[in-house]
Each structure stands twice: as structure tokens, then as C-alpha cells.
Amino acid sequence: MSAPKQTPLPAILLANHLLDGDVVFFTPNGWSRDPREALVAEDRATAEALEAEGVAAFKRQEVVDAYLVDITRDSHGLPVPNHFRERFKVRGPSNRPDLGKQAEFV
Amino acid sequence: MYRYDEFDEAFVRDRVAQFRTQVERRLSGALTDDEFKPLRLKNGVYLQLHAYMLRIAVPYGTLSSRQLRQLALIGEKYDRGYGHFTTRQNLQFNWPKLRDVPEILDLLADVEMHCIQTSGNCIRNVTADQFAGVAADEVEDPRPVAELIRQWSSLHPEFDYLPRKFKIAVTGAQHDRAAILAHDIGLRVVMNAAGEIGYELMVGGGLGRTPMIGKVVREFVPKDQLLTYLEALMRVYNLEGRRDNKYKARVKILVHEIGIEEFRARVEAEFAMLDGPSIPADTEELARITAYFAPPAYEKLPAIIPAFEAAKRANPAFAAWVESNTFPHRAPGYTALTISLKPIGKAPGDATSEQMRVVADLAERYSHAEIRVTHHQNLVLPHVKQADIFALWQALGEAGLAEANVGLITDIISCPGLDYCALATARSIPIAQSLQKRFADLSRQRDIGPLNVKISGCINACGHHHVGHIGILGLEKRGEESYQITLGGDATENAAIGEILGPGIVAEEVPAAIERLVGVYLAHRKDGETFIEAVRRLGLAPFKAAFLQEAADAA
Ligand code: SF4
């Protein structure tokens, strides 16, 4: 078996909140619904620490489906996922700008 | 309409109570995620991109006004004020919180609804012709048998862990409006030479990664032997369907691998050993179910209503809407009316809570409080007096529900795609929107005539793209969304799988590519020939040339 693919850096950790289903991000102050607060791992050690947080929060029944997402910083320094799938996950449905994170946190 | 008896009621309430404690146990850690996931799925709760999604069964697509009002309430109270009608005639809410789901299930149970078996490897909600019971071309209303199958298959102990999901569609008419050849089992009510009513059964249809058209497994199953025959068929599949590879686990693969003759022989051998189904339905029970589907008391009306004819003459927009959105009813003076959920620029199949209430009220006033959901993601008022159609049209117009495009190029089927769905490889809703805008001009749509465009956001094909006259499949190509176009698919009794026209194109190129295909049709059509008829006559070549020309121009 080949080794699992390593997420390129920089990266953030996102997940879905177990009870609400909402997308949440790991921040320096724990989990937040606001993508702007996401802690950005610039090095491998931080990325591994993030992943460990995801596993721990899953075990504490707080989140599900936690995984690292590689990002690029936009002109305001805010993280934007490199893959279009996660860009929608972070923003919300592209046909409904009134819904999702894009409506709440701009 | 079917009404729950005390057993149905207790069964659904028990399931809600069980799910409530399952959520509690998941939160306390008593249930692991691996243990909880199949339980939530069996209750229709998925986890999608932004939130949980709740899929609510609308058995054979029939709803009462009371039920639709309750769905409106749930949408408002626990979701974002709208729901999405799907190609399986179900309703999906896109934003429920897991903590609220038990409460939502209770509200559903209050109106005899639930989410049981809307997911998982079991027999799913049975779908039906949206004009069941009212179509003039029907042998018999197929819904009593759909209800019988629903009761028989709900928590059937033997068929609760099948190799893969299992979808059944029924029709009572010769013309197939329920895509029965694209289902694991398609059932058609037929009459034999002796004048007896029974069922023709098709097996092994399906879309997804390996699209197949269903094949006839038995031309005539007598009414009283249906469940026995289904049991034999399901048993063969359950035992011999592949469990080693989920991409090869559907019954269509088994039928394909061993051939329909061998499959039929195995089913018949099993059938011969059965002395009636292990879970039989006595004739009394069947009669009880059937009684619920007795047609409403229609008034005796003349076939032609002068005021209605005059309204059409005086108002061309109304006449255009009547032409595309009404369907002949078996009772004189009545019509079955389709409400398009495809207003230009909106997500296909979405309805706001407010719109649901408007439809529920109008159904109560004009259609014996009955509504149907179509697999084309529209709604139907099945029993409307022609004399009421004008007033209805005006009321629908105020709610943004009077789009006159049923069956036309902007009546697009689209799955949620990457705007919501966790499995998606590309978006589908914005593609539908861009096509609707491109072809918004109604007189042009009417000139183009009947044309089904169907869009899926991944190979799972929930948007039925394989059987669209024009199919669009969203994929990922080198980190970008890419769209594969197919031509010549058909979901009716002439079922066909569309053929791929060429390499995938980017979203921005899709409207022009479709325009080019329509152009070939307009240039070559004979008098009265529809798009799909022209495709069949001309073959793929001229369309392919136009499509590739487009791709070359863009390169
Ligand atoms: S076809 Fe794919 S993207 Fe569309 S709803 Fe089905 S699984 Fe999701």
C-alpha cells in the first residue's frame, strides 16, 4: 500500500459540528464557525498537531469528518482552499449567496 | 389517499422514539460514529457539505395539503425556509440540525410521514407515474400496489441488508412517465388476453456508473402472486448480488453478468418453491388499501367549458401555460395540472415554505386537497376543474409558480450537485440556471418544443443525465469543473442511454454547446418532429460535428 497522501501546506483543519452539522474550523481558541479565524498551519509539526486535534474532537463527540485542507492566503491574508470543493464548503452554496458562511462572515 | 392504521402509526412513532435515543447515545459516546451512521442513514439523515440533509419519503409522490403544509412549517422552523424536490419524488431539507431531527420526525409522524428507508441498502421509497389514477391512458391506478409494496418492504427482515440500494417504480399506463426502465424493478399494470389485470415486471435498469435499461423478467404476474414473485426475485438478488464491490452490487450487474434468461430461470425456480410470500398480504388487506385510492367524487361536467376556451382566446400567455402545463384527465371537464418548479434562474425543484403553503391551499380549494410530486421535480394538482384553471393560474402567478415551461428546454432536471452534495464532483444548479437564462424566451422554447435536459453533479446520476435527451454530467478534470455532454437518452418506454458527444467542456461553454445542438435540430427537423425523434432519425454524427466544432472554436 502506498503511504497516505500528505496535505500540502499551508493548511487549515475543518470539520462538521456533530450536533449542528455546520462547518467548523480549528482556531487558536478551539473550534469556530468563522472561517476567518482558522488557524493556518505553515509547517508540518503544526499540521500534525491540527490533525491530532481533529481526532481528539471526534473522540469527544464534538465534530465529525475532520480533515486538513490546503489553502492559499487571499489579499487580506484570509485562507482560501485550493480545491474548488472545499471553497464551496467554506463559503456556502454558490447559487444562494444569502445562505452559508458567505452570508454570515464576509 | 392512504391513511395510517394504528399499526402504521405505532410503527412510525416507535421509530422516532428510537432515533431520539440513538442521537442521545451518539452524543454520550455510547454509540460510536461507525455504529450511529447506518442508523441515521436508515432515517434519511445524511451529512452533506454544509450541514446535515434530511430526505423525507413522499410515497409514490402523493401528498395531501395537510402534509405539504407541515413540510412548509418544518422548512420554516428548522431549515432555511425552503425544500428541494428530488427525482425520486422525495423532499430534501438542506440545513437541519441533528439536534432537531427527532423533533422534525415527530412533526412528520403527525401527518403520517417519515424518512424510513430513504437511504441505505434496502428497498427505497416506491415511485410512480405522477398522473396515477387520473391519466386517460391507464389500465389501473398503480398506487394501491405501490402502497402494498411499501408496507411489505418496510423493515422486511430478509431484505433490510441487501447488497445495495433497491429502487422500484410503478406505472399503470402504456406511456411511461415514471422512468420504470431506469429502476431496479419497473412494474407496469397490464391486462392479459383474458381481460385479467396483472403486472409486467422489468428488472435490472439503473443509472449511475454503469447505466442499463431494464429487461422484462415476467410479462404477466397475476395480482395475487405479486408479493410471492417479488420475494423470489429479491431473494435471488439478495443471495447472488455481489457484495465484494459496491460498484458491482446493484441487481443490474447480476442480470448483466448472468443474462436475463438465467436470472429469470433462477427467479422462477425460487418462485416455484414458495407457497405464497413469507409475509403475505391477505385479500382483505389489499382491498382495504385499494379503497383509500378510490377516485374523488367528480362532478358531471361537459368536456368543453366555454368560459375556459374564451379565457384562452383572450389571453395568449394563459393559453401557452395551459398548453404546456395541463394533462388530459380521465373525467370529462377535469384536468391534471403541472406546477413548474423551474422558474427561470431558480434551482430546479426548490420550493419555499411560502410556495408550499400556496400550493397546499390551492390544492385544497381546487384539487381535492391532493398534490403529486413528479420525478421531473415539479408538482401536480391532479383533479382540477377546467372552469377553475384561470383563477388557479392567476394565484400561481402571484407566487412565482406559473412558469409555462413543462416539458420544454428550461424544465431541467438537476441534482443539488456541488452546491450541497458531499459526493459531487462538480456543480449542477448553476449550469441549469445558465441554460434557463440562455433559453428564457418562451416563444423560442415553444418553437424548440419538447426537450429534456438532465444534469447530474457526479457519476451517481441522481439527475438522470443518462436518460436526458441532452444529458450533462459534472466531473472534475485537472482541478476544474468539467461537463460531459450526452445525446439521445430517453426515460420513457423508448428508454435509451445517451451517448457521449466528445471531451468535457468548462461551465461557461455549456450554454453555447447546447445552443449548437438545438441548432442542428432546428435546421434538420421535419414537420412535427421533436428533438429526440430527430436525433433518432439523424443519428449522432451531425450533432457530434456541431459539438466538436464548438469545442474546437473554444480551444
Ligand atoms: S448525482 Fe452526485 S452530486 Fe448529484 S445528488 Fe447524486 S450524488 Fe450528489
Residue B496 has pLDDT above 70, yes or no: yes
Q: In angstroms, what is the span from residue B34 Cα to ligand 1's centroid?
A: 23
For atom 2 of ligand 1, which residue has the closest CA? B458
When pLDDT is cut at 50, 70 and 90, the band that residue A22 belongs to is very high
CATH of B306-398, one of 3.90.480.20, 3.30.70.1050, 3.40.50.300, 3.40.50.2300: 3.90.480.20
Predicted confidence band of residue B185 (pLDDT cuts 50, 70, 90): very high
Q: How confident is the model at residue A3 (pLDDT cuts 50, 70, 90)?
A: low
Backbone CA torsion sign across B253, B256, B257, B261: positive
Query: Atom 6 of ligand 1 has which residue's CA nearest to it?
Result: B462
Do B6-110 and B135-291 come out as alike in CATH topology? no
A89–B47 C-beta distance less than 8 A:
no
B462 lines ligand 1 (CB under 6 A): yes
Q: Where are the domains of chain B?
A: 6-110, 135-291, 306-398, 413-554
d(CA B114, CA B58): 8
B364 exposed, middle or buried (CB, 10 Å; 0-12, 13-18, 19+)?
Answer: middle
Centre of ligand 1 from the C-alpha of residue B464, in Å: 10
pLDDT in tens, B146-166: 999 999 999 899 999 999 999
**Which of B276, B23, B52 has the alpha carbon at shortest distance from B152?**
B276
Confidence of residue B276 (pLDDT cuts 50, 70, 90): confident
Q: Does B424 touch chain A (CB under 8 A)?
A: yes
Atom of ligand 1 nearest to the CA of B418: 3
**Whether residue B170 has pLDDT greater than 80:** yes
Per-residue DSSP letter, B272:
H
Q: Give the Cα-Cα-Cα angle A70, A72, A74 (nearest 5 degrees).
A: 150
Instruction: Tell me if A22 is assigned to some domain.
Output: yes
Question: Is residue B22 within 8 angstroms of chain A, CB to CB?
Answer: no
Query: Between these two residues, B35 and B285, which has the higher pLDDT value?
Result: B35
User: Closest ligand 1 atom to the C-alpha of B425?
Assistant: 3
Q: Which amino acid is at A79?
A: P
Q: Do A95 and B96 touch (CB under 8 A)?
A: no
Q: Which of A1-15, B73-87, B99-113, B284-298 has the lowest mean pLDDT?
A: A1-15
Does residue A6 belong to any structural domain of this protein?
no
In the CATH hierarchy, which fold is given to the domain comprising B135-291?
A: Sulfite Reductase Hemoprotein; domain 1 (3.30.413)
Cβ–Cβ of A89/B430 closer than 8 Å? no
Residue A45 lies in a domain: yes
pLDDT digit string (tens) for A27-67? Answer: 999 999 999 999 999 999 999 999 999 999 999 999 999 99
CA distance B398 to chain A (A): 22
The pLDDT, as a whole number, for residue A1 is 44
Q: Over 60: is that where the pLDDT of B424 sits? A: yes
User: Considering the domain boundaries, does residue A42 fall inside one?
Assistant: yes
**Interface check A105 vs B, CB under 8 A:** no
The whole-number pLDDT of residue B554 equals 54
Among residues B371, B350, B491, the alpha carbon closest in space to that of B130 is found at B371
pLDDT (average), residues B454-465:
98
Could you report the per-residue pLDDT of B202-245, keeping only the tens digit for each? 999 999 999 999 999 999 999 999 999 999 999 999 999 999 99
Q: What is the pLDDT of residue B110?
A: 97
What residues of chain B lie within 8 A of the CB of A83, using their CB?
Answer: 479
Please tell me the distance from the alpha carbon of residue A58 to that of residue A64, in angstroms, as a whole number. Answer: 6
Q: Which residue of A has its CA nearest to B346?
A: A95
Instruction: Report residue B298's pLDDT band, with 50, 70 and 90 as the boundaries.
Output: very high
**Residue tagged 407541515 (cell numbers):** B70
What φ, ψ does residue B322 adopt, rounded to 5°?
Answer: -60, -40
In chain A, what residues touch B97 (CB-CB under 8 Å)? 19-22
For residue A4, tell me if it sits in a domain: no
Burial B275-313 (b: 16+ CB within 10 A, else e): eebeeebeeeebeebbeebeebebeeeeeebeebeebbe
pLDDT at B285: 85
Contact residues on chain B for A88, CB-CB shorter than 8 A:
49, 418-419, 427
**Coil, helix or strand for B304?**
coil
Report the residue among B165, B423, B465 best suited for mutation to probe ligand 1: largest number of ligand atoms under 8 A from its CB. Answer: B423
> Which of the 8 DSSP states describes residue B479?
T
Mutation target vs B (from A17, A61, A102; most B CBs, 10 A cutoff): A61
- For residue B30, the chain A residue with the least C-alpha distance is A61
pTM: 0.96
pLDDT tens-digit readout, B69-78: 999 999 999 9
Please tell me the predicted confidence (pLDDT) of residue B445. 98
Residues within 8 A of A (CB atoms), B 295-354 only: 347
By C-alpha distance, which of B62, B67, B53 is closest to B107? B67
What is the CA(A77)–ligand 1 centre distance, in A? 33
DSSP strands (E only) in B195-236: 197-203, 215-222
The per-residue pLDDT for range B306-343, each reduced to its tens digit, is 999 999 999 999 999 999 999 999 999 999 999 999 99
> In whole angstroms, how far apart are CA B12 and each of A75, A91, B16, B35, B90?
53, 37, 6, 21, 18
* Residue among A18, A59, A62, A102 with most chain B CBs within 10 A, to mutate: A18
Q: Is residue A3 part of a domain?
A: no
Residue A96 is part of which domain span?
Answer: 11-104
Atom nearest to B416 CA in ligand 1: 5
Tell me the CATH architecture of domain B6-110: Alpha-Beta Complex (3.90)
Q: Is there an atom of ligand 1 within 6 Å of B457 CB?
A: yes
From chain A, the residues in CB contact with B424 under 8 A are 85
Closest CA to A13 of A58, A59, A53: A53
Domain total in chain A: 1
Q: How far is CA A106 from the centre of its chain?
A: 16
pLDDT number for residue A2 = 52
Residue A29 in domain: yes
Query: B138 to each of A68, B336, B368, how far by Cα in Å?
Result: 55, 14, 20
Dump pLDDT digits (tens) for B44-69: 999 999 999 999 999 999 999 999 99
Q: Is B424 in the pocket of ligand 1 (CB under 6 A)?
A: yes
Residue keyed to cell 417519515: B114
Q: Which residue in A18, A20, A83 is closest to B479 by CB distance? A: A83
Q: Which of A19, A83, A84 is nearest residue B98 as measured by Cβ atoms?
A: A19
**What distance lies between CA B545 and its chain's CA centroid?**
33
Considering the domain boundaries, does residue A20 fall inside one? yes
Looking at residue B13, what is its pLDDT? Answer: 97
Chain B residue with Cα closest to A94: B419
- In this complex, is the C-beta atom of B437 within 8 Å of any C-beta atom belonging to chain A? no
Average pLDDT rounded to a whole number, residues B387-398: 98
Percent of chain B with pLDDT over 70: 99
What class, spelled out in words, does domain B413-554 have in CATH?
Answer: alpha beta
Report whether B125 contacts B90 (CB < 8 A).
yes
Using the structure block, give the residue that is written with the C-alpha cell 388530459: B328
Chain B residues with CB-CB distance to A18 below 8 A: 26-27, 98
Indicate which of B419, B476, B482 best probes the interface with A, i.e. most A CBs within 10 Å of its own CB.
B419
Helix and strand element counts for chain B (H, E) = 18, 20
Would you say the CB of residue B445 lies under 6 angstroms from ligand 1?
no
